[in-house]
Structure 1
Amino acid sequence: MTSESTLDDEDTFKILIATDIHLGYMEKDAIRGNDTFETFDEILKCAKQNNVDFILLGGDLFHDNKPSRRTMHKCMELLRKYCMGDQPIMFEILSDQAVNFGNSNFPWVNYLDENLNISIPVFSVHGNHDDPTGADGLCALDLLSCAGLVNHFGRSRSVEKIEISPLLLAKGSSRIALYGIGESG
């Protein structure tokens, strides 16, 4: 191995981290209505252009707990445009996916789903604006997760007893652990 290291080597994770995007904020405003969608488009475009291994969203992807149909549609459109495709995933998940994604009916990472072609995986925790509420304890991220567009992790079944199980990832000889816990209200 040479002393020069590149960001494209087989042991280096390239991660784009974004948070507090607040999709749908002021969406009915004539001037600022598309701002959050344009910002999300730029984030995803940057991830694709820089050939990142994955995107990590730190919460508040949505501004409202129950985003409008327009907001959900635009979000799904952008994720499909930039994050689906045939580009191979160059890292693996080592942790127990049934634990990491146990709140989902599809308790595995989306890029391993034989029915999907994911080129850039998106991992996300929920924030206080997009937290799971109501009788079913669902949020917009759960819809995106069910559609196979994001990997929603860091959910806790109880605010009294919080258990955190990190996502353990490997790329070449590198190992990382992602700890995440969504906002609990």
Structure 2
Amino acid sequence: MEDEEALGTAAPPEEAILRILIATDNHLGVWEKDELRKNDSFKSFEEILQLAVQQNVDMILLGGDLFHDNKPTRNTLVRSIDLITKYCLTDKQVPFQVVSDPAQNFANGRVNFQDPNLNIGIPIFTIHGNHDDPAGTENLSAVDILSSSGLINYFGKVQMEGSGIGKIKISPVLIQKGNTKLALYGLGNLRDERLGRMFQTPGCVEWMWPVAQVEPAH
């Protein structure tokens, strides 16, 4: 231990370890009309939530396609809400903070576990995929419903600016736990062809960098 400390390789303190469970492509509601497979997506999602509880993770990060459809059935939506409520709404203290501006990061403009009216024990952060991406004049999907109800933190829903190819700004979710600081960048699904052209065109994709905090002199 002394040698590790001398070399600066000592393990970080417990209060600085950020535990994140990463999952993706849950596709809740897939095969819903198939008598043999209609429950598979919900069983898999429940296993993920159970693992999060067992491993005492700080947060769950989903990589998109939480739902198989943009407009899932009422049955799928209710079952999904029931599972998240069962495992994520607890009196467990969330040990980290979101220190960036929620209005820039999240679809509903707030962080669910920092809302005093909600008992969020395991916060879920998610972007949308190509299956559950927002659509229509309202630019909404089932992911927005969970976001507005305070059950998930939906980020990466960027607003397209300008004309032609367009321009997007991607602002990171800034997370801090003890001395650990994380900049979490997320971008929900855009059509591959358009996104490819945007990355190839200078100035069309702008990555916003966090501003360093300078400690005041004593």
The one-letter amino acid of 2:113's match is Y
Cross-structure match for 1:138 = 140
Cross-structure match for 2:22 = 17
Return the alpha-carbon distance in structure 1 between the equivalents of residues 27 and 57 of structure 2. Answer: 22
Larger radius of gyration: 2
Cross-structure match for 1:120 = 122
Return the alpha-carbon distance in structure 1 between the equivalents of residues 149 and 139 of structure 2. Answer: 17
Q: Following TM superposition, where does structure 1 have runs of at least 4 consecutive aligned residues deviating by more than 3 angstroms?
A: 1-6
Return the alpha-carbon distance in structure 2 between the equivalents of residues 180 and 132 of structure 1. Answer: 15
Cross-structure match for 2:111 = 109
Moved more, 156-165 or 111-120: 156-165
How large is the Cα RMSD of the aligned pairs?
1.6
Unaligned residue ranges in structure 1 (runs of 5+): none
Query: How much does 1:160 deviate?
Result: 1.6
Deviation digits for residues 134-184 of structure 1 (CA, Å, limit 9, x no counterpart): 010001110001111000000111172111000010111111111000002
| Partner residue of 2:68 out of 51, 54, 63 | 63
Deviation digits for residues 73-111 of structure 1 (CA, Å, limit 9, x no counterpart): 11100000000011001001111111112x32xx11000
Return the alpha-carbon distance in structure 2 between the equivalents of residues 68 and 33 of structure 1. Answer: 12
- Aligned to 1:177, what secondary structure does the other structure show? strand
- Aligned to 1:44, what secondary structure does the other structure show? helix
Larger RCO of the pair (alpha carbons < 8 Å, separation 6+): 1
Return the alpha-carbon distance in structure 2 between the equivalents of residues 70 and 108 of structure 1. Answer: 27
Return the alpha-carbon distance in structure 1 between the equivalents of residues 190 and 136 of structure 2. Answer: 13
Query: More helix by proportion, 1 or 2?
Result: 2
| Partner residue of 1:50 out of 32, 47, 55 | 55
TM-score, scaled to structure 2: 0.79
Deviation digits for residues 113-135 of structure 1 (CA, Å, limit 9, x no counterpart): 11100000000000000000001
User: Percent identity over the alignment?
Assistant: 52
- Aligned to 1:71, what secondary structure does the other structure show? helix
